[in-house]
A and B are shown apart, each in its own frame.
Chain A
Amino acid sequence: MNYERIKEKLEILADAAKYDVSCSSSGSKRQNKNKGLGDSSGMGICHTYTEDGRCVSLLKILLTNVCIFDCAYCVTRKSNDIKRAAFTVQEVVDLTINFYRRNYIEGLFLSSGIFKSPDATMERLIRVAKKLREEENFNGYIHLKSIPGASDELMQEAGLYADRLSVNIEIPTKAGLKLLAPDKDHKDFIKPMKAVQNSIQIYKSEKKLIKSTPIYAPAGQSTQMIVGATGESDRDIMYSANFFYDKFQMKRVYYSGYIPVANDSRLPAIGTEVPMMRENRLYQTDWLLRFYGFNVKEILNDTHQNLDMDIDPKLSWALRNLDLFPIDINKADKRMLARVPGIGMRSVGKILSARRYRKLNWEHLKAIGISMNRSKYFMTCDSREFESRDLTSAKIKNLILLDSSSKYHKNFSNQLNLFS
C-alpha cells in the first residue's frame, strides 16, 4: 500500500464528501454471521465528533471527485478548479476493514462524483460493497449513494449489499433545481428512490413467506436538502420533507445549511454565514413530525410560512394555540403531554409511568427533569400554585426569553425588539 498516496487521496476525497450530513449508522438489522467481522444490529454509534460538533460514525468518502455535472451548489462541479482524485475499489475496502477493526468507525458511507455515466458510477460503488460483504465477510454498516439516473437493476443490486441507500434531492423546489443544476432532471432523483422503495416492499412481502430471502437495504432510504441556497421558505422545505416521508417511507430527511463554495451570482456569496440556527429549527420541526405526532400543517402553513428563529417550533405552536392550555399533567393523554413546550418524549414516558403511583406536583416534575421555565405556563399539577395570570402569547414569550439564554442570542436580538 502506498501510504503517502492514500493519505493524499483521503484528504481530497473525505473533504469532498463532508457536505453530505448523514452519518447515521442505526436502524440496520445485520448481525454478525459465520464469525465474520462486524455487526450492525445494535444502535448507531458515534465514534468521535469533529470540531464542528458533528458525529463521525462512518468512513465518509467519495470514490472519486471527478464529475461530469456542473451543479452550482456543489464543490466537485466540473467547472471548479480543484485537485481531482480517485480511490480504487481495493483501497476503499482496505481502509474500511482496517478502520473498522480498530473500532474507529461503524462502517462505510460511499458516494461519488459521476464519472462517465450514472450506471458506470453506480456499478463501481456496488463493487466496493459486494467485495466487503462477500470477500471480507464484513457485517458492518454500508451506506451507498444512489446515483441519480442509475438503472433500476443496479439499484436492485445495491440494496443487497448496502444497509442504507440515499439520493440527495439537494434543492427543495423544482424551480431551484432548474436554476442551479440545469443538466439534472428532478425525475432522475425520484427514479432510484422509487426503485429502492419497490424493492424494499417486495423484500418485506417475500420475507413473510420465505424466511431466507436475502435482506434488502434494512436501514431504508434517506435524503438531504440544502437550506438557504435558493430563496425557499421553511414551509417549502418541510412540505417537501413531508412528501418524502409520506411517499417514499424515508427513514430520514437531512437539512444542510448551505456552505458557500462558489462565486456564483445565483448563490449566497462565499463567506456568508451558514444558517445553522435555521437548520436547527428545521430539525426540531422534523422531530415534531416524526415523534411528537404533529402534522406539518399545524406548524407551517399559509399564515406561518417560516419558523420563528427565537423560539422553538413547539413553543411557537403552543403560543398560537393557547386555548388548548393549560393541561392537567395528571390527566392529559400522551398526545397532549407531548405537545407541552419543554416536555420531551422521554419525559412524557416518565410522567405516564410515574403518575400511575401518585399524583405529581412541581417538585416531582422538576426532579424528573422537565424544563420548567417553558412548561410551567402550559400545565397544572397537584399543587395549589400555578400560573394564574391571564397572560397573552406575547407576554409568555417574553417571560420565557428573559428566563433563558441561547447561544444564538445575537442572531435574533433584532427580532426581539419588535415585541418589547
Chain B
Amino acid sequence: MTTTLLYDGSLNGLMTAIFTIYDRKIKLPIIALDSRTQNDLFEGTELVITDPDKAQRVWNRFKSLCNHHDSHQVYCAFLSEIIGIENTIYEYLKMTFIDQKAPSGDYANTTVLKLSQAAKMVGREKHRMEAFVRFHLIDEETYYANIEPDFNVLPLIMKHFKNRYADQKWIIYDLKRNYGISYDLKTVQEVQIDFNKARGQRGILNTTISGKDDEMTVKGSFRESENNYKDLWNQYFKSTNIESRKNLKLHLQHVPKRYWKYLSEKV
C-alpha cells in the first residue's frame, strides 16, 4: 500500500520527507505538497514536520555523492514546482544512495532525463528573467520591478542582479508567489509587500505599496523623467526594427505573450 507524505513546499521539507522514508522504511512512498492535496486525511496520508537537521543530513549525504552540477540540477528541478517533481527528486536521490554515486548523464534513464529537463526549463526561465526584468525608479533611489515567472526563479537570479547593480537599491517582486528580493547596497533579502490593490489591477507600473517593514515604504508616483526614459526605450525599440525583415513568428518565439505585461516596449 502506498503512503502519501505531505510536505510544506520547502526544500528542507522535501528532504525531511525523504529522511522519513528511510527512517521508517516506508515501502511505497508518494511525496506531495500539503496545499495541493485535499485535507481529508484519508488512510495512508501523513504530514511531514520540517526538521532542518534531518533535512541537512539527507542533503549533505547527497552532495557528498555527486558533483556541484548534479546538486544544482536537483535544486533547479525543485524550483520548477512541477506537480510530482518531488517524486522524481526522491527517485534520483534513491538511485544515488544505492549506487553511492549520482547517475549524472544517464539520459536514457527516465528519472535522470525528467530531472534534467525540469532543470533545463527552470534554467531557461532564470535566463529570461535576467533579461525581462524592467526596473522603474520609484522613489528617489529604488529601482523596482514586477515579475510573474513560470517557475520560482528568484533564488537563482539574486546573485546576478547583486553583482550587476551593486550601486543601486533594487527590488524584484514575484507577484505570482507573493514575495520579492530587495537589495540595500549591502545584502539581498527576501521581502513581502502588502499591496493596496488586487493582483489583477497591478500592471507594469506598480501602484502604491505600503511596506510591511518599517523602512520600506514605497510610493508609486513616478517622476516625469522616469516616463521619459521608458519612452526613449520604446522609441529605440521601434527604430531598431527592420521592417523589411519582419518575422513575427520568430519574435513571438523569443518573447512569448505571457511576458509582455511587464515589458514596457511591448505594452
- Tell me the A residues contacting B by CB distance below 8 Å: 1, 3, 6-7, 10-12, 14-15, 17-19, 31-32, 35-39, 42-43, 45-56, 59-60, 95, 98-99, 101-104, 137, 257, 259, 274, 276, 350, 353-354, 356-358, 360, 364, 367-368, 407
| Nearest CB of chain A from residue B262's CB, rounded to whole Å | 11
Task: Contact check, B242 vs A50: say whether CB atoms are below 8 A apart.
Answer: yes
Digitize B96-115: 1 where CB-to-A-CB distance is under 8 Å, 0 elsewhere.
00000001111111100100
Q: For B104, B145, B168, B239, which residue has the most chain A Cβ atoms within 10 angstroms?
A: B239
Is the CB–CB distance between B166 and A45 below 8 Å?
Answer: no
What residues of chain B lie closer than 8 Å to A53, measured between beta carbons?
Answer: 245, 247-251, 253-254
Asked if A358 contacts B108 (CB within 8 A), the reply is yes
| Chain B residues, Cβ within 8 Å of A357 | 103, 105-106, 108-109
Task: Determine the chain A residues whose CB is within 8 A of the CB of B228 once the complex forms.
Answer: 1, 3
Q: A52: which of B110, B185, B241, B265 is its contact (CB, 8 Å)?
A: B241
> Do residues B244 and A274 form an inter-chain contact, with CB atoms below 8 A?
yes
State the CA gap A104–B230 with chains docked (Å).
9
Chain B residues, CB < 8 A from A3 = 225, 228, 231-232
Contact of A368 among B107, B145, B229 (CB under 8 A): B107
B22 beta carbon closer than 8 Å to chain A? no
Chain A residues near B164 (CB, 8 Å)? 32, 37-39
Within 8 A of A (CB), among B230-246: 230-233, 235-246
The reply to whether B244 and A55 form a contact with Cβ atoms under 8 Å apart is: no
- Whether B148 is near chain A, meaning CB under 8 Å from some CB there, is no
Q: Are A18 and B107 in contact (CB under 8 A)?
A: no
Residues from chain B with a CB closer than 8 A to the CB of A42 are: 160
User: Which residues from 78 to 110 on chain B have a C-beta closer than 8 Å to any C-beta of chain A?
Assistant: 103-110
Bound CA span A310–B236, Å: 36
Q: Can you give 30 A-B contacts (C-beta < 8 A)?
A: A3-B228, A10-B232, A10-B235, A10-B236, A11-B238, A14-B240, A15-B239, A18-B239, A35-B166, A37-B167, A37-B168, A45-B131, A49-B255, A51-B241, A52-B241, A52-B246, A52-B251, A53-B248, A53-B253, A56-B237, A56-B240, A59-B236, A102-B229, A103-B135, A257-B245, A259-B245, A274-B245, A353-B104, A354-B105, A367-B113
Partner pick for A37 among B166, B225, B251, CB 8 A cutoff:
B166
Asked if B108 and A259 make an inter-chain contact with CB atoms under 8 angstroms apart, the answer reads: no
1/0 contact string of B140-152 vs chain A (CB within 8 Å): 0001010000000
Establish whether residues B105 and A14, one from each chain, have CB atoms under 8 Å apart when the complex forms.
no
Cβ-closest 6 pairs across A and B: A53-B250, A353-B105, A14-B239, A50-B241, A52-B245, A53-B247
CA distance A308 to B236 in the complex (A): 37
A161–B13 CA distance with the chains assembled, in angstroms: 49
Closest to A18 in B: B240
Q: What CA separation (Å) do A287 and B49 show in the bound complex?
A: 53
Interface string of B196-235 (1 = CB under 8 A from A): 0000000000000000000000000000010011111101
Q: How far is the CA of A95 from the CA of B225 in the complex (A)?
A: 12
Determine if B248 and A51 form an interchain contact, defined as CB atoms under 8 angstroms apart.
Answer: yes
Q: B131 near A39 (CB under 8 angstroms)?
A: no
A52 nearest in chain B by CB position: B245
Is the beta-carbon distance between A354 and B108 smaller than 8 angstroms? yes
Is the beta-carbon distance between B163 and A51 smaller than 8 angstroms? no
Q: B263 at the A/B interface (Cβ < 8 Å)?
A: yes
B133: interface (CB < 8 Å): yes
Q: What residues on A are CB-neighbors of B134 within 8 Å?
A: 102-104
Q: Is the CB of B237 within 8 A of A95?
A: no
A52 to B244, CA, bound (A): 8
Q: Collect the chain A residues with CB atoms within 8 Å of residue B132's CB.
A: 47-48
The distance in angstroms between the C-alpha atoms of A94 and B185, with both chains bound, is 22
Are B165 and A350 in contact, CB atoms less than 8 angstroms apart?
Answer: no
| Min CB–CB distance A143 → chain B (angstroms) | 14
Q: What is the chain A residue whose CB lies nearest that of B255?
A: A49
B244 CB, min distance to chain A CBs, angstroms: 6
Q: Are B133 and A52 in contact (CB under 8 A)?
A: no
> Across the interface, do A60 and B145 meet the contact criterion of CB distance under 8 Å?
no
Which residues of the partner chain A approach B246 to less than 8 Å between Cβ atoms? 51-52
A32 and B131: CB pair below 8 A? no
Among A50, A52, A59, A274: residue with most chain B CB under 10 A: A50
Interface centre among B185, B245, B254 (most CB of A within 10 A): B245
**Contact in complex: B166, A32 (CB < 8 Å):** yes
CB contact list, B113-172 vs A, under 8 A: 113, 127, 130-137, 143, 145, 160, 163-168
Taking CB as reference atom, which chain B residue is nearest A261? B244
CB-defined contacts of B163 to chain A, threshold 8 Å: 31-32, 39
Q: How far is the CB of A359 from chain B (nearest CB, A)?
A: 9
Q: Is the CB of A368 within 8 A of B113?
A: yes
Contacts of B137 in A (CB 8 A): 101-102
On chain A, the residues within 8 Å of B253 by CB distance are: 53
Nearest chain A CB to B90 CB, angstrom units: 20
Q: Which residues of A contact B135 (CB under 8 A)?
A: 101-103
Structural contact, B240 and A99, CB atoms closer than 8 A: no
Contact yes or no, A50 B237, CB < 8 A: yes
**Assembly CA distance A50 to B236 (angstroms):** 10
Q: Are A50 and B240 in contact (CB under 8 A)?
A: yes
Are A48 and B131 closer than 8 Å at their CB atoms?
yes
In Å, the complex CA distance between A34 and B158 comes to 19
User: Which residue in chain A gives the minimum CB-CB distance to B224?
Assistant: A3
- Interface centre among B164, B166, B238, by most chain A C-beta atoms within 10 angstroms, is B164
Nearest-CB distance from A55 to chain B (Å)?
7
Q: How far is the CA of A1 from the CA of B167 in the complex (A)?
A: 23
Which residues from chain B contact A12 at a C-beta distance below 8 Å? Answer: 239
Q: How far is the CB of A381 from chain B (nearest CB, A)?
A: 11
Which chain A positions have C-beta within 8 A of B103? 357
- A45 with B130, Cβ < 8 A, contacts A354-B106, A357-B103 known: yes
In the assembled complex, the CB of A370 is this many whole angstroms from the nearest CB of chain B, namely 11
Chain B hits for A35, CB < 8 A: 166-167, 185
Residues of chain A contacted by B131 (CB below 8 angstroms)? 45-48
Which of A43, A95, A104, A364 is most buried by chain B, counting CB atoms within 10 A of its CB?
A104
Q: Which residue of A lies closest to B103 (CB)?
A: A357
Please report the C-alpha to C-alpha distance between residue A257 and residue B230 in the assembled complex, in whole angstroms.
31
B166 touches A6 (CB 8 A): no
